[in-house]
Every structure is written in C-alpha cells, then in structure tokens.
Amino acid sequence: MPKPRYLFVGAGFSGAVLARELVTRMECEAVVIDSRPHIGGNCHTERDPTTGVMLHVYGPHIFNTSNERVWAYVQQFGVFRPFINRVKASTSRGVFSMPINLHTINQFFGKRFNPVEARAFVAGLGDQSIEEPQNFQEQALKFLGRDLYQTFFYGYTRKQWGCEPTELPASILKRLPVRFNYDDNYYNQKFQGIPEDGYTAIIARILDHPAIEVRLNTAFRRGDAEQFDHVFYTGPIDAFFDFSEGRLGYRTVNFERIDAEGDYQGNPVINYPDMEVPWTRVHEHKHFAPWETHERTVAFRETSKETAPDDVPYYPKRLAADREILLRYRAMAEAQPGVSFLGRLATYRYMDMEAVIGEALEFADAFQRTTLRSASDSEG
Ligand code: UDP
C-alpha cells in the first residue's frame, strides 16, 4: 500500500509541529506549503544585514509556558536561553514598570506601601458597583479604578485594537497580571526563554525530516486537496472559504525602523499608552539576545491598524459581528471532508506560541488514535 500523503498549509509552529509528529509517529509523507518566502509564520526571525542583530520580523516573541510537555518538546530542537521580559510604560506622568506591580503603584501614587497596604489601597480605587465585568473597560475599572486604567490601559488598548475598550472582552485584560510585590516579570509562566539562534532555526529543525517536503512561495488552492489523503489547514479560516460569509476582523501592525549606535532605549520593550503618541510600543531587538554584542542597534515603532486584504493578520478582534461570522465558518469547516483546521488563524483565536504547539501535539495524539482505530477496524 502506498504511504498516505498529507498536506500542511502553513509553515508556522502549527503546521510544522503537526507534520513532524505525524511523520515520526506513523508511516506517511508530508508536504508543507507556505505562501510566504520563509518558514516560521509570524514567529520568523532573521539576522539584520546592517547591524547583525537577530530580528523578530513580525514583532517580539518571548517563549513562555507552564506546560512541561511543550517546554520539553521545543528544547529538542534548539537551545532556549533564559529570558525574562521586563516591560516599561512611558507616559506623560513618567516611566513606570509594567505589568502593574508594587513598584508601579508606589511610584505612581508617591507611596511606600507594603503588599498588604497596596492591595487594600487599589481595592479602594476599584469601582465596586461593577459586579460581573462585561468588557475590558469594566474589568479594569472594577479592579484598578479610573486613574490607573486611563494611564496604562485606555490609550494603549484604543490604539492597539482600534475600538473602545467597552467593545472588547474582559479576557484580553486578564492576560496581564497585577502584582502586589516587586516582581516585574511580564509573564507568570514557569518556563521562559528565547531560542539562541532564533525561532526560524527551531522551526527549520522541526521540519528537517526525510518524510517532510517544504514548498515556499506556494499559495494553497482548494483543488490541491484532491492530491492528498488529508489536509491540515493553518491559514485564515475565512480565506479557506473564499470569504463567502464575510471577512473576520484582525488587527495588523506596522513597524517603523529606527537605526542607532549603541543602546537606543535601554530595554527590549517600552509601551506608550498615551493617546497623543501614535505608536503603541517600541522594541529594540538586540535586547532580546543579551548574550550577543552588537555595536549598532535597531528598534521599531509599532503602530496598529485594521487589516486590509493584503496585510498580514495578527490579532483576531472577535467582536460580536466576528463571532457570528465565525460560527458559520466553523459549521462549514466541520462539514468539510478530509480537512482539519488548527492554529491561531484557522481557529481565529488569540493564541501564544505555547498554546499553538500544545494544541498541535494534542491534535497529533487524536489523529494518531483515530488512524490506528480505523486501521484495526479494517483489519478486523
Ligand atoms: N495593554 C495595555 N497597556 C499595556 C499593555 C497591554 O492596555 O501597556 C492591554 C492591551 O489591550 C493588550 C492587552 O492588555 O492587547 C494584553 O496585553 P499583552 O501584552 O498580553 O498583548 P500582546 O501584545 O502580547 O498580545
């Protein structure tokens, strides 16, 4: 019997991890296509020819997970150097530490609170009339009060998402911790790091297997599916169905490059939450690799906008109208024979790298179980 041939659409973490798992666990051949000229999706990294700095081409990616399986998995494919993301917010009232922690609170209010005092103080600022926060703004007002919300969240969120924070789900704010100690680590996860030679090198090693063929600059056409036993689609779900139900809303980001000598801003990421500043944040990429030395530096001012048809989609907006459209696409996806949809774009969810990898591994487990079961059924 010829080996089954599977098509993986998209060479980001989803497509790469699933392809690798399937060719490792079962007899099959994988073709991984990507419409872009590089693998790695939005995690793509490459060396900047002028400075030698490793660039996170689609914006900063700091690997963070508490999932032991995911952490063990990625480390098979490269060295992750310890990296703790410490973000600053530059506002008209000064420069503060993010996410909001005891240092932020004490500096912002000119206090010398201990953790217990700070907790009581911030609780007193919160709007107690909000019982169940229904959106981002209510979540912030309930737990932080107006002053902290206006300074650190309102403008940033308006600029980042292009809508009022009342239109956004409370879950977006819940991504960020508020701490009543001096821990200024941006993430709460157990394992945090950045690959020594970039994410693209990691994904290249995941894809480096004799049963995997990678084709770049190759757009997916639905007719391609006929040549394969199964298609694993990780692109935008609305594009798969030729936008028949309408376009899902995404935000995209633009980067304005700044070249400088030495150290431009003294930190990897500085957020600019004031509405008067057009950009949301500035990232200086040499600081994501503190184990390297470079004389010159390169930073990017990040601005956010609505995604036009030719833009790279970044953040799924998931407004009420989007969720309705999504339900229709989901029903169509379930009725689509021989195609599975996975990853950030195909499921239209706000997913970090670790979630994408975790789901690809679980997807491989489930696919393997079904395939084994149908093989033993046909033998029996
Ligand atoms: N956010 C904010 N001010 C900040 C940082 C974040 O208002 O200084 C809000 C913003 O709406 C953002 C959300 O908190 O979308 C989640 O932040 P996170 O850093 O997780 O966003 P990411 O860019 O990593 O997706």
Q: Which of 281, 329, 348, 359 is catalytic?
A: 281
pLDDT tens sequence for the chain (380 residues): 789 999 999 999 999 999 999 999 999 999 999 999 999 999 999 999 999 999 999 999 999 999 999 999 999 999 999 999 999 999 999 999 999 999 999 999 999 999 999 999 999 999 999 999 999 999 999 999 999 999 999 999 999 999 999 999 898 898 888 999 999 999 999 999 999 999 999 999 999 999 999 999 999 999 999 999 999 999 999 999 999 999 999 999 999 999 999 999 999 999 999 999 999 999 999 999 999 999 999 999 999 999 999 899 999 988 889 999 999 999 999 999 999 999 999 999 989 999 999 999 999 999 999 887 887 787 75
Q: Are 105 and 179 in contact (CB under 8 A)?
A: no
Residue 157 CA, ligand 1 centroid: distance in Å: 7
Q: Which residue has the tokens 């599975």?
A: 340
Q: What is the pLDDT of residue 49?
A: 97
Q: What is the pLDDT of residue 373?
A: 81
Told to judge if 311 belongs to the known catalytic residues of this protein, a careful annotator would answer: no
Residue 130 DSSP code: -
Q: Which of 58, 73, 179, 348 is catalytic?
A: 179
Q: What is the pLDDT of residue 380?
A: 59
User: What class has domain 5-82+191-245+316-379?
Assistant: alpha beta
Q: How many CA atoms lie within 13 A of 304 on its CB side?
A: 25
Which residue lies with its CA nearest to atom 21 of ligand 1? Answer: 175
Residue 224 DSSP code: G
Q: What is the pLDDT of residue 351?
A: 94
Q: What is the pLDDT of residue 378?
A: 75
Measured from CB, residues less than 6 Å from any atom of ligand 1 are 89, 98, 152-153, 156-157, 160, 172-173, 175-176, 271, 273
Q: What does the domain layout of the chain look like in residue ranges?
A: 5-82+191-245+316-379, 99-175
Q: Which of 175, 215, 222, 369 is catalytic?
A: 175
Q: What is the pLDDT of residue 39?
A: 98
Q: Quote the pTM value.
A: 0.95
Q: Are 224 and 32 in contact (CB under 8 A)?
A: no
Told to judge if 175 belongs to the known catalytic residues of this protein, a careful annotator would answer: yes
